Amino acid sequence: MNRKVHRRTLLKLGLAASAGTAGASLVAGASAAPEAMPAPPDNTMGVLVDTTLCIGCRKCEEACNRRNHLPRTAESFSDRDILRSFRRPTESAFTVVNQFPGSPSTDQPGLPQTYVKVQCMHCLYPSCVSACIVGALTKASDGAVVYNPTICIGCRYCQIACPFEIPAYEFHEPLTPRVRKCEFCTDRAQGTGANPACAASCPTEALVFGRRAELLDMAKSRLKQRPDRYLDRVYGETEVGGTSWLYLTGRPVQEIGLLNLPGAPPAQRTEAIQHGIFKYGMIPIAFYGLLSYLMWRNNPQREEFSGEAEARDASPKPDAKGGAE
C-alpha cells in the first residue's frame, strides 16, 4: 500500500543527495586528467644560472639591494664568511648566495665547493598568482611575477602556495605590511619590463639574462659540449610547469639547496578542483540543503507533525467495501 513520505525522509534524501553531489564534484576535480599547459610566449624572459661559474662574490646581492632600495646589511657585501650559513630570501634581501662545500657523490667523487644564488623563480604558471584572492600578484607579459601592495589584504596565501617558499612578509610593519620578493627588476612606474640588476653585475657571466627559449637552447648546448662538467639536467625547464630562472649544476640539486619538485604546476591541480566544485554545483546544493535542515531542525512543531503522521499511518484504513483492513 502507498504511504505518504514524511518530511523528515525527504530532508534526509535531500541532504544525502547534496553530500553525494559534493563528493562527486570533488572526486571529479581531483581525478581529472591535467590539461596540457600552453607553451610560454616567445617574449618570456629568463636568466640562466651556471652554478659552475659562480665564485660567490655577492655582487648580485649588492646590485639587487641598490636597485630595490633595500635596507643596508650589517655586514659588507664583500664579507664572504656569511656564505657559510644557509640563508633564504627575506623581506629585506630579495636574493642570497649560499656556499655548499665539496662533498663525495656517488656519481662525481671529490666535488668542489659550489655557490648557488636563490631568488623568486618567476614560474611560468605561478601558484602565488593563482592563490591570491584579490589579484595583488600578477604575471606580466614578459614572465615577471609582480606585486601590487595597494590592493593586498595580507592573507599571505601566496606564502603557503609558493613551492619554492619565496614570498616574505613584513611582520615588523604594523600598519602597512607588504609581501616582498624579487620582481625581476621591473619598473611599473615607468612601464619597463624585466631587467635584473643581478645579471648585469655578474663578473663571471654565471648569470645570463635573455629570452627563456634562447637560454634553454644555450643550456642544452653546454650540456652537450661538456657532459663532464654538468649533470644532464636543466633545473627549471619542467619543474612545477617551468620557471623563468634556469639552472645548470655540476652536482645533484638536493646537495645544493634546490628543491626536487614535480613537473605539474600545483595551481593546475587546485584550479581543477575549484572548477569542478563550481561546475557540478556543490556549493549551492550543499548550502540549500543545509538551510532546509536548519529550518526543519528549528521548527518547534516538527515532532507534533511527525506524531500525527505516524498516528495516521498506524490507524486502520477502510477497505473497498467500507470495512476496516
pLDDT score, position 192:
87
Instruction: State the burial class of residue 31 (Cβ atoms within 10 Å of its Cβ: 0-12, 13-18, 19+).
Output: exposed
pLDDT score, position 308:
59
pLDDT score, position 46:
98
- Examine the pLDDT at 92 and tell me if it is beyond 60: yes
Mean pLDDT check: name the lowest of 38-42, 147-151, 256-260: 38-42
When pLDDT is cut at 50, 70 and 90, the band that residue 2 belongs to is very low
Structure confidence by residue, pLDDT tens digits, 52-65: 999 999 999 999 99
| Helices and strands in the chain, H and E counts | 9, 9
Q: Where are the domains of the chain?
A: 45-273
Max mean pLDDT among 51-55, 83-87, 107-111, 190-194 falls in 51-55
Alpha carbon distances (Å) from 35 to 32, 121, 143, 154, 240? 9, 23, 21, 31, 14
4-20 average pLDDT score: 49
- Examine the pLDDT at 165 and tell me if it is beyond 70: yes
pLDDT score, position 281:
59
Cell of 109: 667523487
Mean pLDDT check: name the lowest of 57-66, 226-235, 278-287: 278-287
92-114 average pLDDT score: 78
Pick from 236, 266, 251: which is nearest to 118 by CA? 236
When pLDDT is cut at 50, 70 and 90, the band that residue 299 belongs to is confident
The CATH code for residues 45-273 is 3.30.70.20
pLDDT score, position 74:
76
Beta bridge partners of 318: 324
Pick from 88, 302, 307, 304: which is nearest to 182 by CA? 88
What is d(CA 55, CA 70) in angstroms, rounded to the nearest whole number?
23
Q: What is the pTM of this model?
A: 0.74
